[in-house]
Amino acid sequence: MNIGQAAKASGVSVKMIRYYDEVGLVRPAGRSEGNYREYEAREINELRFIRRARGLGFDMEEIAQLLSLWRDRGRPSRDVKAIAQRHLANLDTRIREMQSMADTLRHLAHCCAGDDRPDCPILEDLGGWEAGDLGPVVGPGG
């Protein structure tokens, strides 16, 4: 199938298929006499694999490692598990950081009157100073 059909069958855009080919994530597709890429079931499965891995938040390096392990039927599963556990630890850290950000913003939004007065704890926090301070070291515009 051609690249458009491969995109439809795999759920990966034509642009991303070309990118994955360019960076060497996928093996080069065969070429027709007219020099068009031709994709077979193996390539479609690899593109689906990449799409699913991206959906789980794996970065390109991790996907390359996982794809290499997936292609190697003799791989030890501990290698795959180690990559997944590292990624999971990173996700857990990001979740904690994002939860902290959400808690802070929730608190600041609760403290802001949201009325016609200029006082705003959200802006004060972003500026790094609190009401009653002398103000930011460098004010807006300079």
Helix-helix angle 41-55:3-10, to 10 degrees: 50
Cβ neighbours for 62, distance < 8 A, ≥ 6 positions apart = 53, 83, 87
pLDDT grade, residue 102 (50/70/90)? Answer: very high
Identify whether 27 is part of a domain.
yes
Identify whether 4 is part of a domain.
yes
Domain boundary among 38, 57, 76: 57
CB-based contact 122:106 (threshold 8 Å): no
Identify whether 123 is part of a domain.
yes
Q: Is pLDDT at 138 greater than 70 in this prediction?
A: no
Closest of 86, 48, 85, 91 to residue 67, by C-alpha: 48
Q: Identify the CATH number of the domain in which residue 38 sits.
A: 1.10.1660.10
pTM (two decimals): 0.76
- List the domain range (segments joined by +) for residue 21: 1-57
Q: What is the pLDDT of residue 139?
A: 53
What's the number of domains the chain is made of?
2
**Separation of alpha carbons 80 and 82, rounded Å:** 5
Mean pLDDT of the chain: 90
Average pLDDT on 33-51 reads 92
Identify whether 83 is part of a domain.
no
pLDDT grade, residue 35 (50/70/90)? Answer: confident
Average pLDDT on 3-30 reads 93
DSSP 8-state secondary structure symbol assigned to residue 41 = H
Cβ neighbours for 77, distance < 8 A, ≥ 6 positions apart = none
